[in-house]
Amino acid sequence: MDRDATADVNAPHSMGTTIIGVTYNGGVILGADSRTSTGLYVANRASDKITQLTDNVYICRSGSAADSQIVSDYVRYFLHQHTIQLGQPATVKVAANLVRLLSYNNKNMLQTGIIVGGWDKYEGGKIYGIPLGGTILEQPFAIGGSGSSYLYGFFDQAWKEGMTKDEAEQLVVKAVSLAIARDGASGGVVRTVTINSEGVTRNFYPGDTLPLWHDEVEAHDSLLDILNASNPEPMST
């Protein structure tokens, strides 16, 4: 397991990632961390893994950054044409199906786990999980990425049907923050996107606003600063 500790800066960009999508009473909330790593090096510590496909449909990307970007570009293109032909916004189901077809038919070449979430006038808020092989599953909530392993038990306990927007947002932020605490491949900030009949809202939670979990320590001043202070105490409580 201990390969060359000098980070693999030329390794393909992978989003270790924690991604989440939940439905609530009136819409959906998508959440993600912001770490993109190449091997052990964090290539981007503030990436945006929540990508827009249409006005009313967004996706969370995990796995290979390149693969998930290409899939999302193709689906955005197809959805755009579909919207023009149909004369009205595409449904979340159609968007998810297009993602699934690409994932499934190119399964030998792609490595992406995608969560599709959005709102349309027929079905309201919907979440679809499309993991590695190209299965499609409509779920009341979906989790993905390496950090999601630590969240299965959490959601079993904390999830409930028909939450309010604020409850759902807090749940998502808490969950991503828990995963970041335990998963080395997830980190940075928490981004959320809320989609409902009124439109889309983006939120941003910087790392230092997130709660501290078991064993995580508060930020301390450096010992050097203490030495320079007027009254050097060995350690603050």
Partner 1 sequence: MSSIGTGYDLSVTTFSPDGRVFQIEYAAKAVDNSGTVVGIKCKDGIVIGVEKLIASKMMLPGSNRRIHSVHRHSGMGVAGLAADGRQIVARAKSEAHNYESTYGEPIPIKELADRVASYVHLCTLYWWLRPFGSGVILGGYDRDGPQLYMVEPSGVSYRYFGAAIGKGRQAAKTEIEKLKLSEMTCRQGVIEVAKIIYGVHDEAKDKTFELEMSWVCDESNRQHQKVPEALLEEAKAAAKAALEEMDAD
Q: Binder to partner 1 among 7, 66, 70, 101 (CB under 8 A)? A: 101
Output the CA angle 152-201-121, nearest 5 degrees.
85
Site size for partner 1, by CB under 8 A? 13
What are the residues facing 193 on neighbouring strands?
30, 202
Q: Does 98 bind partner 1 (CB under 8 A)?
A: yes
**Options 7-15, 48-56, 94-102, 215-223: segment touching partner 1 (CB under 8 A):** 94-102
Q: Binder to partner 1 among 93, 126, 174, 191 (CB under 8 A)? A: 93
Distance CA 93, CA 101 (A): 12
Q: Binder to partner 1 among 25, 38, 44, 97 (CB under 8 A)? A: 97
Nearer to partner 1, 98 or 181 (CB): 98
CB of 143 to partner 1, least distance (A): 23
Binding pattern to partner 1, positions 114-153, x when CB under 8 A? --------x-------------------------------
* Neighbouring residues of 225: CB distance < 8 A, sequence distance ≥ 6: none
Nearer to partner 1, 17 or 91 (CB): 91
> Nearest-CA neighbor of 47 among 16, 78, 25?
16
Contact in structure between 103 and 114 (CB atoms under 8 Å): yes
Contact in structure between 24 and 162 (CB atoms under 8 Å): yes
Distance CA 46, CA 189 (A): 7
What are the residues facing 15 on neighbouring strands?
63
Q: Provide the 10 A C-beta neighbour count for residue 86.
A: 11
Distance CA 129, CA 19 (A): 11
Q: Binder to partner 1 among 19, 29, 57, 96 (CB under 8 A)? A: 96
CB of 200 to partner 1, least distance (A): 23
Active-site residue flag, 36 = no
Q: Binder to partner 1 among 50, 53, 59, 94 (CB under 8 A)? A: 94
Just list the catalytic residues: 17
Name the residues that contact partner 1, by CB under 8 A: 82, 85-87, 91, 93-94, 96-98, 100-101, 122
